[in-house]
C-alpha cells in the first residue's frame, strides 16, 4: 500500500518526509547494533509479504504485515519499513523518492502505535486476550494506514475525496484478513519461538 509519485502536493510531501525522518531517527537511536540483523529479517519479510497473495472470494489481496512488524519491532519499525519501501521503489518502482516519507509514515506510524497498544497484551499468559490483541493489532494497523492514506490524499487536494473513500472501502476486507493472519501468526510465534516476541 503506497501512494504513487506525482499525486500529492508539496506541503503534504514535505511534512510526510519530516515526520518520517524524525521517526526513523528515533528508531535508529533505539536500535542496538546487535539487533540490526533481526530488524533486517523483519524488514525483508515486510518486503516479501507484498508478493504473497491471499485469496479472498474470487479475487486476491497481497499481505501488508505492518502490524506484525510493529508489534515485534516497536520504534525500529520506522527504519525497517523505510528500508523495505526504498527497496520496493528500486525493485518495482512502487512509491518513489518524493513519496518515500509519506509512505513510510502511513505504514510505520500505525505499526509503532500497534506496538504500544497491543504488545503488552500479547505477552500476557491469557491465551484469549493475546489472540484478541493479535487480531486487533493486525486489523488496526491496516485500518489506520488506510485512514492515513485517505487523509494525505484529501489534505493534498479536496477533489481526491471520492478516491480516498474508495481507498478506505478497499481496505476493509484487507483489514479483516490481516487481523486473522496476525492473530494466528502471533499465536504460532508465542508457541514456537517466544524469544522473538521480546519483552
Partner 1 sequence: MLQEPFSVGNSFLHRTDPRFRLVSALLYSIVVAVLYGFFSLIASAVFSLALVRAAGLDGKTVLKRLALVNGFVLLFLLILPLTAGGDIFFSIGFLHIYQPGVVLALQIALKSNAIIMAFIALVSTMNFSTLGHALNSLGLPHKFVFLFILTYRYIFVIEQEYKKIWRSIKIRGFSPKTTLHCYKTYAYMIGMIFVKASARAERVYRAMRCRGFNGSFYTLAEFPSSGKNWLFLFFMLFSTFLIILMELYFYG
Q: Does 125 participate in binding partner 1 (rule CB under 8 A)?
A: no
Q: Does 86 participate in binding partner 1 (rule CB under 8 A)?
A: yes
Q: Rank residues 18 and 41 by Cβ distance to partner 1 and give the closer one.
A: 41
Q: What is the 3-state secondary structure (H, E, C) of 39-56?
A: HHHHHHHHHHHCCCEEEE
User: Site map for partner 1, 140-179, x if CB under 8 A?
Assistant: -----------------x-xxxxx--x----------x--
Stretch that binds partner 1, among 77-85, 112-120, 123-131, 140-148 (CB under 8 A): 77-85
> Which of 11, 179, 186, 23 has the alpha carbon at shortest distance from 98?
11
Residues 91-110 that bind partner 1 (CB under 8 A): 91-94, 96-98
In a 10 Å sphere around its CB, with 0-12 CB exposed, 13-18 middle and 19+ buried, how is residue 162 labelled? exposed
Q: For residue 60, what is the DSSP state?
A: E
Q: Does 117 participate in binding partner 1 (rule CB under 8 A)?
A: no
User: Site map for partner 1, 9-28, x if CB under 8 A?
Assistant: xx--x----------x---x
Among 71, 73, 77, 89, binds partner 1 (CB under 8 A): 89
57 in Cβ contact with 141 (< 8 Å): no
Measured CA distances, 108 to 30, 37, 113, 147, 158 (Å): 15, 19, 9, 13, 25
114 in Cβ contact with 65 (< 8 Å): no
| Number of residues located near partner 1, criterion CB under 8 A | 71
Stretch that binds partner 1, among 107-115, 120-128, 139-147, 185-193 (CB under 8 A): 185-193
Neighbours of 193 (CB within 10 A): 9
Residues 47-66 that bind partner 1 (CB under 8 A): 47-49, 51-52, 54-57, 60, 63, 65
Stretch that binds partner 1, among 44-52, 108-116, 119-127, 140-148 (CB under 8 A): 44-52
Amino acid at each position: 500500500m503506497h501512494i504513487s509519485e506525482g499525486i500529492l502536493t508539496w506541503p503534504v510531501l514535505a511534512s510526510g518526509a519530516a515526520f518520517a525522518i524524525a521517526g526513523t531517527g528515533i528508531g535508529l537511536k533505539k536500535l542496538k547494533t546487535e539487533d540490526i540483523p533481526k530488524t533486517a529479517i523483519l524488514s525483508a519479510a515486510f518486503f516479501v509479504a507484498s508478493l504473497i497473495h491471499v485469496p479472498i472470494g474470487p479475487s486476491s489481496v497481497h499481505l501488508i504485515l505492518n502490524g506484525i512488524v510493529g508489534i515485534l519491532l516497536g520504534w525500529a519499525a520506522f527504519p525497517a519499513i523505510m528500508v523495505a519501501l526504498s527497496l520496493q521503489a528500486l525493485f518495482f518502482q512502487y512509491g518513489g523518492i518524493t513519496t518515500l516519507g509519506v509512505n513510510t509514515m502511513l505504514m510505520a506510524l500505525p505499526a509503532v502505535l500497534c506496538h504500544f497498544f497491543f504488545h503488552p497484551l500479547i505477552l500476557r499468559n491469557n491465551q484469549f486476550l493475546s489472540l484478541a490483541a493479535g487480531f486487533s493489532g493486525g486489523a488496526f494497523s491496516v485500518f489506520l494506514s488506510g485512514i492515513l492514506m485517505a487523509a494525505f490524499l484529501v489534505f493534498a487536494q479536496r477533489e481526491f475525496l471520492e478516491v480516498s473513500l474508495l481507498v478506505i472501502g478497499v481496505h476493509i476486507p484487507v483489514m479483516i484478513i490481516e487481523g486473522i493472519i496476525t492473530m494466528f501468526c502471533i499465536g504460532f510465534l508465542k508457541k514456537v519461538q517466544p524469544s522473538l516476541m521480546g519483552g
